Chains A and B, each alone.
Chain A
Amino acid sequence: MTSMSASGKSGTMNANATSANLVVPRELNWPPRSEADQAAELAKLLRGEYPDSNGRYGPFGGRFVPETLMGAVTRLETVAREALQDMSFLATLESEGREWIGRRTPMMKAKNLSAAWGINLWLKREDLAHTGAHKINNALGQGLLAKRLGVKRIIAETGAGQHGVATAAACARLGFPCRVYMGATDVQRQAPNVQRMKWLGAEVVPVTSGDQTLRAAIDEALRDWVSDPMGTHYLLGSAVGPHPFPWLVRTFQSVIGRESRQQMLEQAQRLPDAVFSCVGGGSNAIGMFHGFLADASVKIFGVEAGGRGDTPGEHSSTITHGRPGVLHGCYSYLLQDQNGQVSDSHSVSAGLDYPGVGPEHSFLSDVGRVSYVQAGDEEALAAVKDCCRMEGILPALEPSHALAAAKNFGKANPGATVLVNLCGRGDKDMPILMKVLS
């Protein structure tokens, strides 16, 4: 195999890259310019030196939150670090993962898509996890932590509704009252999940401020949290937000990459040539990628939503088109205008429709380990159709972006062994599919 997808931006210096500013010390010398410097930074991550004590991955991450929340985020990190050393916590996580979520989820050879696309395509079946997406891994983990935190209630944001459903389910199982903030636009386009959350006992609050999608839902959840930071746990659903969330979410999602690597060796007797995950905030992606970051032969691709095109407001391709800034408590690539106002984003997929991205993805892009590429609305919808007709699986719109990018990769790399994280099922997307596909 020779070429990679040309639209990947990894490894190339781009005009938007970070330089020293109010929150990035000059001494850091970011971004690393030579391949040796990039490799040295990646090695630090692999040795566990990132996030550092300030919650940074290189310059990215941090805790840019109001003073009101400092106690809560500090306590969360302390309690999480203790729990992750505690055998009984890990045992509960494992048994609940097995019995309640249905882990480990299967790995499947997609025979018919492989034939059609000229590659050997493997699918990690996170769509078969309880509640229908990878989100449940993190909801269970943080739900169990909430018990140790001793909080009285749990709040969450949701875009596609999958994280809301997962959180509602975890709260039902663990006995917490649950409130979910969801943008009014998403309440409409993901209606089936709204009803599911209610049946699971959660209160769903439609958010009519801001852009009325995931970003506004996070704003609103943060506003709730500041009113009772110690009595409430904010169960954040993606690898974004202030430290320790990006690390915590990665920790609970890494099970995807660990299982996948083992399953590839068992079932394909080899590692993949390339791995693809969709990136909204980046939780399924970071969990998958951590299984393969140390395998230099494995090319890794994060797939952002290309939406309707490259003009601002028409896509959610944060790393491809953004420049670093601070949103929702962390420093990371961000879609924003020249005045530092956050731009509106678009994707046919509610879960990817977010102008920010997890700080570790910004790091992985700048050090050249992961290539961030795009798949647009139309390509994703075509992949939904292909996957339905050829494999008998209705995938969520989010991972359909990863499928589309894998298909594109196959054109330049025929015969390649490709792993896609099929991180959710598409039942929730019926309202929008009926609108745009029929």
Chain B
Amino acid sequence: MHTIEQSIRSKRQSGSPAVIPYLTCGFPTREALRSQIEQLAPLSAVIELGVAFSDPMADGVTIQRSSAVALQQQASLDWLLTELKGIRSACPLAIMSYLNPLLTISAGTLGLRLKDANIAGLIIPDLPLEESAPLREEMASLGIALIQMVTPATPMERAKMIASRSGGFLYAVTSMGVTGGSAGAASSSGGASGQSLDAVGSYLAGLRAISPVPVAAGFGIRTREQVRSLQPHADALIVGSALIEAIEKGQSPGEFIRGLIG
């Protein structure tokens, strides 16, 4: 079993919610990273380390804002991988990056650099299953999980195929749209209406029935109530924009996550 998968399963067995916080690395400063990881790791099943990108097309305003700040702080994939060599984390780390920053590291060396930085998994929002084969093979040979996403718009047959190829966990997007909405509430942007929390629950149950790896729910999880009601249906819960907003307000990441799961 992959370390990420193990970590999620053992957190759940211990009875506490398995939470996967997302950080935009370099936000609010590059120096903050070490303390952010040290605070979050003991509370988390996995930490998702976001690499800021100039054109985050799957992200809402909060992560757009934190990404812009991180870029002003000169955050980059190269900086992050170098920095991580000197940071010990009590839980596995996964990198969340749009494809283009990853392309700056040549094919043969990316895996090694990730290994050197103790990275256990990769999440790439703009790399759908159809485009992912070469990367998955290279990562598999190094024991790095390529984590794939499914959404409420993904047909069940396709979700099955994606789950069978996803490493570490299956990333279940709980609401249509960009990051930063609210799962189980009507969506704020024009277009489709949001799903009720019940509908999210049965969507997750359906995915767990077909997925060989744990199912982590993400996009729009921001309150203790949501954590409580979604926790029975998912193996892990991913918290991104809400954590960034807490950091913006000056709250410490550890304190915020404790409040969410406590």
A residues bordering B, Cβ < 8 Å?
A: 20-23, 25-26, 54, 62-68, 70-71, 153, 179, 209-210, 215, 219, 222-224, 226-232, 324-329, 334, 336, 338-342
Contact = CB atoms under 8 A, between A and B. Distances in A.
B176 A228 contact: yes
Interface string B69-113: 001000011100000000000000000001111111011001000
25 contacts: A22-B99, A22-B107, A23-B99, A25-B134, A54-B130, A67-B129, A67-B151, A68-B151, A70-B130, A70-B158, A153-B190, A179-B190, A223-B177, A223-B178, A227-B191, A228-B191, A230-B153, A326-B103, A339-B77, A339-B104, A340-B101, A340-B102, A340-B103, A341-B101, A342-B100
Contact of B54 (A26, A210, A227, A329): A210
Given A22-B99, A227-B176, A340-B101, A64 B127 contact: yes
**Candidate in B71, B78, B101, B110 with the most chain A CB atoms within 10 angstroms:** B101
Given A215-B55, A224-B191, A68 B176 contact: yes
Given A210-B55, A339-B78, A329 B126 contact: yes
B153 A219 contact: no
B3 interface: no
B99 A341 contact: no
Nearest to B76: A339
B131 A23 contact: yes
Given A223-B189, A228-B190, A232-B191, A22 B103 contact: yes
Contacts of B130: 54, 63, 70
B144 interface: no
B173 A68 contact: yes
B99 A326 contact: yes
Nearest to A152: B191
Nearest to A338: B104
B179 to A, nearest CB: 10
Nearest to A356: B55
A215 B192 CA distance: 25
Interface of B: 53-61, 64, 71, 76-78, 98-104, 106-107, 110, 125-131, 134-135, 138, 148-151, 153-155, 158, 162, 173, 176-178, 187, 189-192
Given A67-B150, A339-B78, A222 B100 contact: no
B71 A21 contact: no
A327 B101 CA distance: 11
A25 B138 CA distance: 12
B189 A227 contact: yes
Q: Which of B125, B128, B177 has the most CB of A within 10 A?
A: B128
B189 A224 contact: yes
A226 B126 contact: no
Given A70-B154, A231-B191, 7 more contacts: A62-B131, A65-B126, A67-B151, A67-B173, A68-B153, A227-B190, A339-B78
Contacts of B150: 67
A67 B191 contact: no
A228 B162 CA distance: 21
B126 A66 contact: yes
A425 B127 CA distance: 39
A376 to B, nearest CB: 25
A229 B178 CA distance: 12
A229 B153 contact: yes
A241 to B, nearest CB: 11
Contacts of B58: 66, 68, 223, 226
A65 B55 contact: no
Contacts of B128: 63-67, 70
B104 A226 contact: no
B96 to A, nearest CB: 12
The 10 closest A-B pairs by CB, nearest first: A228-B191, A227-B177, A340-B101, A339-B76, A340-B104, A228-B192, A227-B191, A227-B189, A341-B54, A340-B100
A22 B135 contact: yes
A341 B77 contact: no
A179 B130 CA distance: 30
Contacts of B101: 339-341
Contacts of A222: 57
A22 B71 CA distance: 24
A38 B108 CA distance: 27
A63 to B, nearest CB: 6
Contact of A326 (B56, B78, B100, B129): B100
Contacts of B131: 23, 54, 62-64
Contacts of B103: 21-23, 324-326, 340
Contacts of A230: 153
A224 B189 CA distance: 7
B178 A64 contact: no
A104 B101 CA distance: 45
Given A63-B130, A65-B126, A215-B55, A227 B99 contact: no
Contacts of B155: 71
A71 B127 contact: no
Contacts of B191: 153, 224, 227-228, 231-232
Given A223-B178, A224-B189, A339-B104, A66 B99 contact: no
